[in-house]
Amino acid sequence: MDLLESSILGLAGLFGGVLAGLFGVGGGTIFVPALVYGAGWGIGEAVAASLVVIVFSALSGTLRSMRSEVPVNWKAAALFSLTVAPSSLIGVAVSSFFSETLTQLVFAGFLLTLAYPTARSGKRYREGIGGASGSHLAVALLGGVGAGALAGLIGIGGAALTVPLLIFGFGLNPKTAISTSLVVTLLVGVVGAAGYVAAGFDRLSGLPPLIVGSIIGAWPGVRLRERLPETVLQRAFAAYMVVVAVLMIVDAANGP
């Protein structure tokens, strides 16, 4: 790996880490393209590697969130993780049956579907974990299976899905949902990465720049999140989802 490639991956890791702290995502939407387009990796290897890096970015963001003004809701994190994290192995298992184009279109579809309700979610779900109805919680846990499977399939932490589900199903406010999502993302990364390693992934040599950048970037991301109003944060996250979805659709349309 030459200096330019290392620099590109390091910057991608830094940006992904900032996103992890700011939005509760693992950074996979940055790490996968960085490895594919910046380092020339195949999509399958990039997905597996992304889950490895996500473990570090989410851990860094979680540690910083524990010291923030909006700490993790550990009850919601524990309950939701029991559904989401094991489900990532579903994505690992079926990944070999999905083409790159189909995977991109599936992910883009999920992002576009959830962007609007993410932007609109708010007061009616901000009653704390005890205030969320049983039906909302059941839907959230069922959605968590899909979130985990998607995370394992395309190498993301799943926060594009878990944050809205934590707001809707557990009654968390957006900032608490993001802090809590980092814990869920961390466990998804651990389980998903372990699944790919067990399946034979062993290409770890290109990951240090991404890992270091993601660890460093998560802390200022959390600090920035603390200073942003909840409404701005919700709408920015929804806009981020739309941008990623559009880029994936364009890339899929231009693919082989």
The model's pTM is 0.76
Nearest to 81 by CA among 159, 154, 23, 171: 159
Contact 24, 200 (CB under 8 A): no
Return the CA Rg of the chain.
17
Cα-Cα-Cα-Cα dihedral sign, residues 10, 37, 222, 130 = negative
Which tops the pLDDT comparison, 248 or 190? 190
Per-residue model confidence as pLDDT tens digits over 5-34:
788 889 988 988 887 777 766 677 778 878
92: which residues sit within 8 A by CB, 6+ positions away?
152, 153, 192, 195, 196, 199
Query: In terms of residue numbers, what domain contains 214?
Result: 3-254
Structural tokens at position 151: 């995370």
User: Is pLDDT above 80 for 207?
Assistant: yes
Per-residue model confidence as pLDDT tens digits over 43-83:
788 888 889 998 998 888 888 888 877 789 999 999 999 99
Round to whole Å and give the CA distance between 133 and 135: 5
What pLDDT is attached to residue 75? Answer: 92
| pLDDT, the chain, mean | 81
What pLDDT is attached to residue 134? Answer: 62
Per-residue model confidence as pLDDT tens digits over 104-150:
787 778 778 777 766 765 444 444 444 455 668 888 888 889 888 88
Which tops the pLDDT comparison, 89 or 38? 89
Which tops the pLDDT comparison, 234 or 60? 60
CA 183 to chain centroid:
11
What pLDDT is attached to residue 125? Answer: 41
Round to whole Å and give the CA distance between 153 and 48: 9
Contact 62, 190 (CB under 8 A): no
What pLDDT is attached to residue 45? Answer: 86
Percent of the chain residues topping a pLDDT of 90: 15
Structural tokens at position 100: 């790159």
Place of tokens 């999502």: 181
Q: Domains in the chain: how many in total?
A: 1
Complete DSSP assignment for the chain: --HHHHHHHHHHHHHHHHHHHHHS--SHHHHHHIIIIIS---HHHHHHHHHHHHHHHHHHHHHHHTTSSS---HHHHHHHHHHHHHHHHHHHHHGGGS-HHHHHHHHHHHHHHHHHHHHH--GGG-S-GGGS-HHHHHHHHHHHHHHHHHHHHHT---HHHHHHHHHHHH---HHHHHHHHHHHHHHHHHHHHHHHHHTT----TT-HHHHHHHHHHHHHHHHHHHHS-HHHHHHHHHHHHHHHHHHHHHHHHH--
Structural tokens at position 169: 């199903």
